[in-house]
Amino acid sequence: MKVLFVHDCAHVCQDLARHLNERGVETEFLPLTTFLDAVKKMRKSDADIIHANYIHSPAHAAFLSGKRPYVLMAHGDDIRYGLSFSQRMEISRASLCFHSTPDLDGIIDGSILIPQPVDIERFHPMGEKGNGKKAVYFTQSTSDPRLRANEKEYITRISSYCLEKGYELTIVPSMTHIPYEQMPQFLSNFSLFFDKEFPADAYSKTALECMAMKIAVFDSDSVESNFDYVLRNHAAPVVADKLIDCYESCL
């Protein structure tokens, strides 16, 4: 079996590829540089399955390519606020649809939860640095401004929390690029990670990676430390096995 990943999101498919390869699934990646170029390359692909991430341009390119079967993965603000006519058309032709966080359940009929994978070999406990009272927050980067609507108020709230609890807060602007390979070392400088405020039940991939490193995660109003949960449900080999079962059902 060969799978063509279109427009990887948050390194999700890169994290899964090695484990898929170990299980006999060949993988190939197609960045969405230009829409028409992606359509042409998909038409020429010898992949058995097209896996398009994000149900906007990548999904539309898969639809127009005429290649079957294709599967679609929703990652959040692409479907959270409703589906357009174009999206419904793309979904209707898809062999399967996946969603990456529990809050998206039910938006697309029959969509399957494929949890965000965590590379537990890369993201693992490293021990605290310094005084152990350092916190970090990454400002929102999303195509839908509604997810950023209350961010200023949220930053004010978490700043007050840090002041009260004695944490030194680092706010990382969304345009800051930290290479994925360097992210574990960067995160190891902190003992508390502030996840995005909205929506509920939708931990970011970085939050899950922090949990795998035993870094506490602040989610809205509470601090979570779900190390065992992440290993059971989000470890990349576990997610890869679930994905392969889904792929096989399409062929």
Instruction: Give the pLDDT score at 143.
Output: 57
Report pLDDT for 200.
67
Domains and CATH numbers, the chain: 2-117+235-250 (3.40.50.2000), 134-231 (3.40.50)
pLDDT < 50 stretches in the chain: none
Q: What is the pLDDT of residue 198?
A: 64
Report helix, strand or coil for 167. coil
Taking only the tens place, the pLDDT of each residue in 199-224 is 667 888 999 999 999 999 987 555 56
pLDDT for residue 177: 86
SS3 for 157?
helix
Give 245-248's long-range contacts (Cβ < 8 A, gap of 24+). Answer: 246/71, 246/96, 246/98, 246/112, 246/114, 247/1, 247/3, 247/25, 247/49, 247/71, 248/1
Query: pTM of this prediction?
Result: 0.90
pLDDT computed for residue 107 by the predictor: 95
What's the confidence (pLDDT) of residue 175? 75
The confidence score (pLDDT) of residue 115 equals 95
